[in-house]
């Protein structure tokens, strides 16, 4: 993985990343995009989607707090981004939580091509009608014990949607259907703050946008950066005897501070 | 008060707390729920209220930044939560600020049963048509001097709405109409940040949800936790020579850090 | 500049500042208003704009994440605030990013009188139909080299809109058409976090509201406070070896901590 080149592409291009996202973590997502070296725009009014997509370089769709106004905006931005060949990431937040989200995502996937779909295992399973048949139905967390089954499953899903599938869990798994990155970095404390998944999706969108010809590596590197930031933030939180809110700040801090040397030193992953 | 049992119920049950709340403090509210050991969901689209309420365990209604879209969502979620016997808390933020909020809350209180209504003194007074008659009309802040009048008032209101009334002030007062907790902890600096009331409502919802058979103690304990976190955050802010934004972070930090021993050591309250 | 008097007016009057703003930085804006010593209200539902404006003292209009619901609320609040002679500030965030925002701002400026319009140079240029004719078309950043041209331009725009124009850049320039403040404080790191412009607009609204008879000085002082906070926050970030999220916290911290003596010691500006 050419870490320097992928990171420098983000920092040097200063691209504009458009996010249509939930209002819980919208501030954190804008800040993580800035921390990585790119610029955020979080517009979600349908009447300006055409213009905003025109001046943007990549699109991050997050269905947390989806509402009827945003439905239209998401379609308009996605159609335009597909036409302009801008990378698009879909984060199907809580897609299994309501039939409203389920139907929306199901329709969206029929009309729009996404470059990356990022979620946790249960969200990715919700995208597939008969996940039962893939032998992953009882798996809740990705561990060494079930890694082979998950890799087989993710490859099938990636091929089905012709895109990269990126699953966050204890072990992260990212695949384009042929090659699969397995990432062992990260810290369970990331689930003690809201928006760590949303922030990762924003960061991944930034990385794939600046590295359009190297989507899989860019996606995997963004996961490594967030996971290593999560580890370092935990150490700092313990050292400073603080708690979850400081952890959130340190996590974003480290995304702004980590160098390619830090990543090389800490990265723990394999390609399967 | 069985502090260990009430806190452990929150941490062990890992329940899903649904909040329909304002976009100013929605991130802080989600983070305080996580800091306490439960899980947040902040959905507010009417079309998914039925499903979201089904998978949730308790409901936090906050009318800050109320709008016409959220009105419908609040009704749908509340009806369903009442049917499922989920605990519901109402935070009538700024109910006296506009006739729009006043009419909405007044209607809501006629159709929905709330388990707790939490607000400041002026908000609680706004719920009662002729607060003049209760002798608390000129009281703005609860102090030792007017505590007796406030306790008499809060008991009447609690009986009128058949629920717990919880008032945040210099002295906090929480009553189910029979028993009243008077809490002396807290720090005036909590009013120097936005959302400290909203965060407390989210925390109280979490505590009553995990302690459905012990609502009054759970409510009082959540007030103690927030108030003690507010005291400790102030000391830390002064020690570190920082200001209001760091105070906000330390406040959430301490909610994630405080143990039952800390509470026992610091708690300053009486039952009347 | 009577720094003590202007700051004390903010702290002593405890006024209510109404903001209709984007959901990215709405929490930061509320916190910066509190940090300055005033009180925030962020309501944006059209049905309560009349009541909310009635109880408020000043109005901050920010068109980031503008949507069709907010359009109506902005008009209603502005009409009422104009009638009540409340100071109003317009922050035309990204007005050049879409024809939707361009048309909205253009209409708004025809019906509403603003006391201050605050933005970056490209936003202010977008307000003027033929900025080409003013010789500032190729200027992107205000530096010593182009300061004379910018001052000539800002005076024309201030006279055209009969208000104070306040431009944030490497050098900040604030003019009422006659007198122009040129502010050399500030730090480039302020652009590494989201909402630093939005926060400044909220702070400026607070300062002009508490100093209605001294708008230009109040506006300039709010810029000095934010700029000096930005410098001190950077030093603290470097000392503590943290990153962008901690920088955001320190920035708000310093707005809550800076005294008139700090401002006098650090201020670097001239009047032209």
Task: Examine the pLDDT at B124 and tell me if it is beyond 70.
Answer: yes
Pick from A34, A47, A254: which is nearest to C192 by CB?
A: A34
Residue B208: pLDDT band (50, 70, 90) is: very high
Q: What is the pTM of this model?
A: 0.97
Size of interface A-B (CB pairs under 8 A): 86
Torsion of CA B65, B66, B70, B72, to 10 degrees: 180
Cα(A183)–Cα(A191) distance, integer angstroms: 17
Which of A243, A250, A251 to mutate to test binding with chain B, by most B CBs within 10 Å of its CB? Answer: A243
Cα(B11)–Cα(B5) distance, integer angstroms: 10
Q: What pLDDT, in 10s, does the model give residues B47-77? A: 999 999 999 999 999 999 999 999 999 999 9
Contact residues on chain C for A31, CB-CB shorter than 8 A? 193-194, 244-245, 248
Residue B137: pLDDT band (50, 70, 90) is: confident
pLDDT of residue C242: 97
What is the percent of chain C with per-residue pLDDT over 90, rounded to a whole number? Answer: 96
Work out the mean pLDDT of chain B and round it to a whole number: 96
Would the CB atoms of A244 and B34 count as touching at under 8 Å?
yes
pLDDT of residue A136: 83
**For chain A, which chains pass the contact test of at least 3 CB pairs under 8 Å?**
B, C
pLDDT of residue B226: 98
Cα(A254)–Cα(A258) distance, integer angstroms: 6
Would the CB atoms of C243 and A251 count as touching at under 8 Å?
no
In this structure, of A169-173, B103-107, B131-135, B193-197, the range with the lowest mean pLDDT score is B131-135
Q: Identify residues of B whose CB sits under 8 angstroms from chain A CBs.
A: 23, 26-27, 30-31, 34-35, 40-45, 47-48, 51-52, 55, 69, 248-257
What length does chain C have? 272
Residue C136: pLDDT band (50, 70, 90) is: confident
Work out the mean pLDDT of chain A and round it to a whole number: 96
Task: Examine the pLDDT at A43 and tell me if it is beyond 80.
Answer: yes
Contact residues on chain A for C194, CB-CB shorter than 8 A? 27, 30-31, 34, 40
Least Cα separation, residue A30 to chain C (angstroms) = 6
Contact residues on chain C for B193, CB-CB shorter than 8 A? 31, 34
Nearest to B71 by CA among A90, A78, A93, C45: C45
pLDDT of residue B130: 63
- ipTM, two decimals, is 0.97
List strands edge to edge, sheet with C269-271.
C39-41, C16-20, C58-62, C88-91, C116-120, C164-168, C172-175, C180-183, C269-271
Would the CB atoms of A243 and B252 count as touching at under 8 Å?
yes
Q: What residue in A sits closest to B27 (Cα-Cα)? A: A24
Residue C133: pLDDT band (50, 70, 90) is: low
Q: What is chain C's alpha carbon radius of gyration, rounded to the nearest angstrom?
A: 17
Size of interface A-C (CB pairs under 8 A): 86
pLDDT of residue B132: 58
Q: What pLDDT, in 10s, does the model give residues A154-210? A: 999 999 999 999 999 999 999 999 999 999 999 999 999 999 999 999 999 999 999
In this structure, of A92-96, A125-129, A135-139, B267-271, the range with the lowest mean pLDDT score is A135-139
Nearest to B23 by CA among B38, B36, B6, B42: B42
Task: Examine the pLDDT at B131 and tell me if it is beyond 60.
Answer: no
pLDDT of residue A131: 57
Pick from C28, C65, C243: which is nearest to A35 by CB?
A: C243
Task: Examine the pLDDT at C131 and tell me if it is beyond 60.
Answer: no
Q: What residue in C sits closest to A236 (Cα-Cα)? A: C242
Which of B44, B96, B243 to mutate to test binding with chain C, by most C CBs within 10 Å of its CB? Answer: B243
Task: Examine the pLDDT at C51 and tell me if it is beyond 90.
Answer: yes
Would the CB atoms of A45 and C68 count as touching at under 8 Å?
yes
pLDDT of residue B136: 83
**For chain C, which chains pass the contact test of at least 3 CB pairs under 8 Å?**
A, B
Cα(B248)–Cα(B236) distance, integer angstroms: 11
Residue A59: pLDDT band (50, 70, 90) is: very high
Task: Examine the pLDDT at B35 and tell me if it is beyond 70.
Answer: yes
Strand partners for B17: B40, B58
């Amino acid at each position: 993985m050419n870490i320097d080149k992928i990171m420098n592409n983000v920092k040097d291009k200063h691209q504009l990343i458009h996010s249509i996202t939930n209002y819980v973590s919208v501030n954190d997502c804008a800040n993580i995009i800035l921390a990585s070296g790119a610029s955020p725009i979080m517009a979600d009014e349908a009447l300006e989607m055409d213009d905003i997509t025109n001046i943007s370089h990549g699109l991050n769709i997050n269905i947390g707090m989806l509402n009827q106004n945003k439905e239209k905006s998401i379609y308009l931005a996605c159609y335009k981004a597909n036409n302009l060949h801008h990378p698009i990431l879909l984060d199907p937040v809580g897609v299994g939580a309501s039939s409203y989200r389920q139907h929306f995502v199901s329709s969206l996937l029929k009309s729009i091509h996404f470059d990356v779909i990022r979620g946790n295992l249960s969200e990715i399973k919700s995208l597939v009608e008969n996940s039962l048949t893939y032998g992953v139905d009882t798996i809740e967390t990705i561990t060494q014990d079930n890694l082979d089954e998950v890799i087989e499953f993710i490859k099938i899903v990636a091929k089905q949607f012709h895109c990269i599938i990126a699953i966050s869990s204890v072990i992260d798994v990212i695949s384009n259907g042929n090659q699969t990155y397995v990432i062992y970095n990260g810290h369970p404390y990331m689930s003690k703050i809201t928006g760590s998944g949303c922030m990762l999706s924003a960061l991944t969108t930034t990385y794939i946008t600046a590295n359009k010809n190297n989507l899989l590596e860019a996606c995997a590197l963004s996961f490594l950066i967030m996971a290593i930031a999560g580890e370092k933030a935990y150490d700092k939180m313990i050292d400073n005897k603080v708690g979850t809110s400081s952890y959130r700040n340190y996590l974003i801090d480290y995304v702004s501070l980590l160098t390619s040397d830090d990543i090389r030193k800490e990265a723990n992953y394999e390609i399967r």
